[in-house]
Amino acid sequence: MADLSTDFLGIKSPNPFWLASAPPTDKAYNVVRAFEAGWGGVVWKTLGEAGPPIVNVNGPRYGAIWGADRRLLGLNNIELITDRPLEVNLREIKQVKRDWPDRAMIVSLMVPCEEQAWKAILPLVEETGADGIELNFGCPHGMSERGMGSAVGQVPEYIEMVTRWCKQNTRMPVIVKLTPNITDIRYPARAAKKGGADAVSLINTISSITSVNLDSFSPEPSIDGRGTHGGYCGPAVKPIALNMVAEIARDAETRGLPISGIGGVTTWRDAAEFLALGAGTVQVCTAAMTYGFKIVQEMISGLSQYLDEKEITLAELTGRAVPNVTDWQYLNLNYVTKARIDQDACIKCGRCYAACEDTSHQAIAMSPDRVFTVKDDECVACNLCVNVCPVDGCITMERMEAGVVDPRTGVTVSDDYANWTTHPNNPAARPAAE
């Protein structure tokens, strides 16, 4: 079994699987159950400033979309930050950290955008013995209407300012949680770094309406016939999260900034992908809310087996895919592939044909007895047939050998790397080095 122990900003945990700040980490009871199940750490559900407790709606807080067999693919929520008294949360955090010293205990915070508010709460958190804090600049619903959450996260200057206040007022590591509800994730990440953040975590939830009730015409989840945008998460958001993590990991200004990856992590494989794109830990919520805390055991065994099979360490996995993330302009235009259909594996459903014929390049032929073959002189290697084929591995993209003529273009395939920056059709092309 590979060693999964993690050191993130000096915060140690037996594995990189943390529970994200969310309903599952709202109180000691849940967190203790999570630790008993094997989770490496938690980010305690966001605390607000002292005073009258937060008020939540008394109708549904969650909406969802489902795939086959009602498999939950996406979840959204309109729940606010913790609605329990501050002192109760602090007392429980202190007790749990004392009882579980080997687990990471991060405390998520969201107070008004005034230095005094942050100055007031930081010592209280520090006193619990927590390992670090996470600044909730992400939640897109409710609190953002009061100038907190994503209202802060959407303004890089605010991020930098609040991060700096926190760094100046606590010795605890500061993780800044970013909202995806922006146009370019690099700007808030750079701001966090400038403010002195020790790490960023992302993504928070995405503004969303999960569905509309076609009888009542209320958005879901519906509160007395009306709805509001909630924060979207779960497997459906993973591709968005992976991209944002990668953008920060490869950005010249934020490269090397530790990242805690969040967004649709459901299996060990999802976690490994976040790690490969530069995350040092991952945070999970929806998968636990769907299946319970036990899923961490599959994550632990799966990631261990993978590292063993690859003969690499966890640290070696982190960031391993980052060098391969690039801009479109640097993709090798001399890489020529063609779709190949394995006739033995083909079940003759014809989906590749329908997709290619109706919506792509008319590059698949269909015989009267339902044999489907690729027309190399039409195939642009778009991959759509691979994506719609219901049989894994039946259609593959095969690279054309150098020296062979691509029947579509009539051009001889070269094994030289050549990209758009040097392409003759590019008005801004620079001459290739002689």
Partner 1 sequence: MTNSPFTPGIVPARLDAATLAENFADLHAPLDDHEALVAADRCYFCHDAPCITACPTSIDIPLFIRQIATGTPEAAARTIFDQNILGGMCARVCPTETLCEEACVREAAEGKPVEIGRLQRYATDTLMAAGVHPFTRAAPTGKRVAVVGAGPAGLACAHRLAMKGHDVDLYDAKEKGGGLNEYGIASYKAVGGFAQAELDWLLQIGGIALHTGKALGRDLALDGLRAEYDAVFLGMGLAGVNALRAEGEERAGVQDAVGFIAELRQASDLAALPVGRNVVVIGGGMTAIDAAVQSKLLGAESVTVLYRRGRDAMPASRYEQDLAASKGVRFVFNAMPVAILGNGAVTGVRVEYTRSEGRSLVGTGETFDIPADQVLKAIGQTLEGAPGGLVIAGGKIAVTGAGRTTLAGVWAGGDCAAGGEDLTVTAVAEGRDAAEDIHATLMA
Q: Which residues contact partner 1 (rule: CB under 8 A)? A: 68-70, 347-351, 353-354, 366, 370, 390-391
- Rounded to a whole number of angstroms, the distance between the first and last alpha carbons of the chain is 51
Find the angle CA(275)-CA(279)-CA(283) to the nearest 5 degrees.
Answer: 95
CA atoms of 71 and 114, how far apart (whole Å): 43
Nearer to partner 1, 366 or 397 (CB): 366
Strand partners of residue 13: 6
Nearer to partner 1, 333 or 347 (CB): 347
CA atoms of 35 and 32, how far apart (whole Å): 5
Cβ of residue 59: shortest distance to partner 1, in angstroms? 24
CA atoms of 401 and 414, how far apart (whole Å): 8
Strand partners of residue 412: 405
**DSSP state, residue 70:** G
Cβ of residue 345: shortest distance to partner 1, in angstroms? 9
Cβ of residue 221: shortest distance to partner 1, in angstroms? 20
Nearer to partner 1, 358 or 416 (CB): 358
Cβ of residue 318: shortest distance to partner 1, in angstroms? 37
245, two tokens = 């993590």
Cβ of residue 348: shortest distance to partner 1, in angstroms? 6
Distances (CA, A) of 28 to 43, 44, 96, 341: 12, 9, 7, 55
CA atoms of 25 and 29, how far apart (whole Å): 9
Nearer to partner 1, 348 or 423 (CB): 348
CA atoms of 183 and 227, how far apart (whole Å): 25
Cβ of residue 68: shortest distance to partner 1, in angstroms? 4
* Active-site pick, 113, 139, 285, 352: 139
Strand partners of residue 321: none
CA atoms of 324 and 247, how far apart (whole Å): 12
Cβ of residue 378: shortest distance to partner 1, in angstroms? 17
Nearer to partner 1, 70 or 430 (CB): 70
CA atoms of 249 and 281, how far apart (whole Å): 14
CA atoms of 246 and 250, how far apart (whole Å): 6
CA atoms of 350 and 7, how far apart (whole Å): 50
Q: Is 346 a catalytic residue?
A: no
Element (H, E) at 45: strand 41-47
Nearer to partner 1, 274 or 372 (CB): 372
Nearer to partner 1, 8 or 353 (CB): 353
SS3 content of the chain, % helix, strand, coil (to 5): 35, 20, 45
User: Which residues are known to be catalytic?
Assistant: 139
